[in-house]
Amino acid sequence: MQQELPNLITFLSKRFPDIKWLQFISRWENVAFSLMIIMALFLFACLASRRRKLIPDKLQNAAEIIVSGVDDFVCGILGERGRRFVPFLGTLFIYILFMNLAVLIPFFKSSTSSWSTTLALSLCVFAYVQYTAIREHGFLGYLDHLMGRPRGILAFTAIFPVLMFFLHTISELVKPISLSLRLRSNMWGEDLLVGVLANLGVRFFPLAVFSMLLAILASIIQALVFCLLSTIYFALVLTHEDEAPKLKAPCLKC
């Protein structure tokens, strides 16, 4: 079976098998590479926001483009109320995107090819969505939502609320699993593809370049899909208020 490319931590752990802390890190290499991405993004954020100017430089301009793009994307789905979710969803998108692209860096690894990483991210989304639902509707209101909001004669039919509660609960529990497996499977396949092309040699260099471009596109799409689905999960639990302005009756003058 084709294995993924060796990364820096794997290489060092095999080169120095007597170093205990290095062997410990090798068992948690996905966490280690995730922390590297976090430190890189933290450094970028510090440099981009250290000396903010009215006429931004390249770093500040890049950061503002990313933040503005994420804000427009989230608020385009959730409306103005979605602005409070922009920091969370934007962080998810940027974090996942750079973890996806890490496989293209020599001796690095994409942590999103591991289910433990993607499941942890999905559980964060799941917990925040449930918290938002309870905060939005109240605990009893959220239970009413899970039961399908039975009203009228349906409220006196015992089987309908129980069945809807069961189906809605199962669907909520399945969401983090499907969300994590989708991202993990796509990135795992991308890592294997990069490994196969790297082992083919220089003769297939044009094919490797084309595949690298596809890998970049796939990394962006997968991060976008994860953010899009997470945003939709928030939209499903928020209250749907009619925001259209009410038309005033015309003033009839005698």
Distance CA 64, CA 66 (A): 5
The mean pLDDT value for 158-182 works out to: 85
pLDDT single digits (tens) 32-90: 899 999 999 999 888 888 877 777 778 888 888 888 889 999 988 888 888 889 999 99
Distance CA 214, CA 219 (A): 9
How much of the chain is in helix, strand and coil states, percent to nearest 5? Answer: 80, 0, 20
- Which tokens hold the place of 65? 């483009």
pTM of the model: 0.82
Instruction: Specify the pLDDT at position 248.
Output: 41
Q: What percent of the chain has pLDDT over 70?
A: 85
Ranges of each domain in the chain: 8-237
pLDDT confidence band for 249 (50 / 70 / 90): very low
Q: How far is CA 68 from CA 62, 71, 87, 99, 254, in A?
A: 10, 5, 11, 21, 52
Q: What percent of the chain has pLDDT over 90?
A: 29
Q: Are 129 and 233 in contact (CB under 8 A)?
A: yes
Alpha helices, DSSP H, located in 102-250: 115-137, 139-146, 159-200, 205-237
pLDDT confidence band for 204 (50 / 70 / 90): low
Q: Are 85 and 78 in contact (CB under 8 A)?
A: yes
